[in-house]
Amino acid sequence: MNRPIYRVGKLSKIEFIGKNSSDWLYFKYTIEKKEKEGKVYIKDSEYNYYKNKLGKSYIIGMNNNQIINNFFLTYRVFMDHPVPDSIKEAPPKGWNKFPEWVPKDK
């Protein structure tokens, strides 16, 4: 059975797809000491908001099956939960529950 896991992801770049369409927001995260990249759609109108967040880390929710993440883009970026600088990465297999200790942005 697939279950969600949570990791630390660092926003890395935005790929502009086209006017009046969605863009890609890319982020990097680590699984068992291997760096991976994921992406989610963002609205074209939100480009500037996300551009100002590049280089910052947030909690990323994903399926525990990496193949499903790659094919179906099951990622979710919790923009209201920035990760403190003191936390560099999640445990090797991620967190099984949402890390409630991560403060919610005001």
Strand partners of residue 34: 31
Instruction: Please give the mean pLDDT across all residues of the chain.
Output: 88
For residue 28, the model assigns a pLDDT of: 97
For residue 6, the model assigns a pLDDT of: 94
CA distance 88 to 10: 10
For residue 106, the model assigns a pLDDT of: 58
Total-model pTM: 0.86
User: What is the tens place of the pLDDT at every residue in 7-51?
Assistant: 999 999 999 887 767 899 999 999 888 999 999 999 888 889 999
Task: Residue count of the chain, please give it.
Answer: 106
Structure-derived torsion over alpha carbons of residues 75, 89, 85, 26, reported in degrees to the nearest 10: -30
Which residue from 72, 60, 66 is spatially nearest to 2, judged by alpha carbons? 66
Report the share of the chain in percent with pLDDT over 90: 51
